[in-house]
A and B are shown apart, each in its own frame.
Chain A
Amino acid sequence: MRVTAPTAVVIGATRGGDDNGTSMTQANGEAMSTDVMIEARDLTKIYGTQRAVDRLNFEIRRGEVVGFLGPNGAGKSTTMKILTCFISPTEGTAKVGGYDVFNDPLAVRSVLGYLPQRAALYPEMGVVEYLEFAADLRAIPKSEQRDRIKKVVKICGLEEALRKEIGQLSYGYRQRVGLAQALIHDPPILILDEPTADLDPNESAEVIEYIKEIGKTRTVMLSTHDLSEVKASCARVLIVNRGKIVADGAPDDLAAKSGSVRYVVAIDEKAGAKGSGKGPANAGEVLEALRSVVKDSTAKELPSDDRSHVVEVTAKGGDDHRREFFQLAVDKGWTLLELRREALQLEEVFRQLTVGADAKAAETSKSTAKE
Chain B
Amino acid sequence: MSETAAVSAPATAIPRGNVGTMFNNTWAIAKREFASYFSSALGYIVIGMFLLLVGVLVFFVFNFLERNEATLQSLFEGVAWLSWAISPAIAMRTFAEESRTGTLEMLITQPVRDWEVILGKYLGATGLFAVALALTFVYPVAISKMGDLDWGPVLGGYLGLFLGGAAYVSFGVMVSSYTKDQITAFFVAFVVGLLFFILNYITPALGSAAPIVVYFSPRYHFDNIARGVIDLRNVMYFLSVISVCLLATARSLESRRWS
A residues in contact (CB < 8 Å) with B = 10, 13-14, 26, 28, 30, 32-34, 36-37, 39, 41-42, 47, 55-57, 59, 81, 84-88, 95, 97-99, 106-107, 109-111, 114, 116-122, 124-125, 133-134, 136-140, 178, 181, 185, 187-188, 244-245
Contact = CB atoms under 8 A, between A and B. Distances in A.
B4 A36 contact: no
A137 B108 contact: no
B73 to A, nearest CB: 39
Contacts of B4: 41-42, 57
B17 A185 contact: yes
Nearest to A111: B17
B36 A124 contact: yes
Interface string B104-132: 01111111110000000000000000000
Contact of A30 (B15, B17, B24): B15
B208 interface: no
Given A55-B1, A139-B20, A109 B11 contact: no
Given A34-B9, A120-B103, A125-B39, A87 B14 contact: no
Contacts of B257: 86-88
18 contacts: A14-B3, A28-B15, A34-B13, A39-B8, A55-B1, A57-B1, A84-B109, A86-B108, A86-B257, A88-B257, A97-B13, A98-B11, A109-B110, A111-B17, A136-B20, A138-B17, A139-B24, A188-B14
A85 B6 CA distance: 24
Contacts of B3: 10, 14, 57
A98 B15 CA distance: 9
Interface string B72-110: 000000000000000000000000000001110111111
A124 to B, nearest CB: 4
B-side interface mostly: loop
Given A36-B8, A122-B36, A81 B105 contact: yes
Nearest first, the 10 closest Cβ-Cβ pairs linking A and B are A98-B13, A120-B102, A110-B17, A139-B20, A139-B18, A136-B28, A124-B39, A98-B11, A109-B111, A110-B111
Nearest to B7: A41
Output the residue of B6, B15, B28, B109 with the most chain A CB within 10 A. Answer: B109
B199 to A, nearest CB: 38
B134 interface: no
Nearest to A41: B4
A137 B11 contact: no
Contact of B106 (A32, A36, A39, A121): A121
Range of interface residues on B (Cβ < 8 Å): 35 or more
Nearest to A47: B259
A120 B6 CA distance: 37
B20 to A, nearest CB: 4
Nearest to A187: B17
B145 interface: no
B25 interface: yes
B29 to A, nearest CB: 8
Contacts of B9: 33-34, 36
Contacts of B21: 139
A39 B18 contact: no
Contact of A98 (B14, B40, B102, B111): B14
A120 B29 CA distance: 16
A5 B258 CA distance: 36
Contact of A120 (B16, B106, B111): B106
A85 B25 contact: no
Given A42-B4, A81-B105, A84-B109, A98 B28 contact: no
Contacts of A136: 20, 24-25, 28
A318 to B, nearest CB: 28
Contact of A99 (B13, B24, B106): B13
Given A109-B110, A120-B103, A26 B12 contact: no
B143 interface: no
B113 A106 contact: yes
Contacts of A140: 18
Contacts of A34: 8-9, 11-14
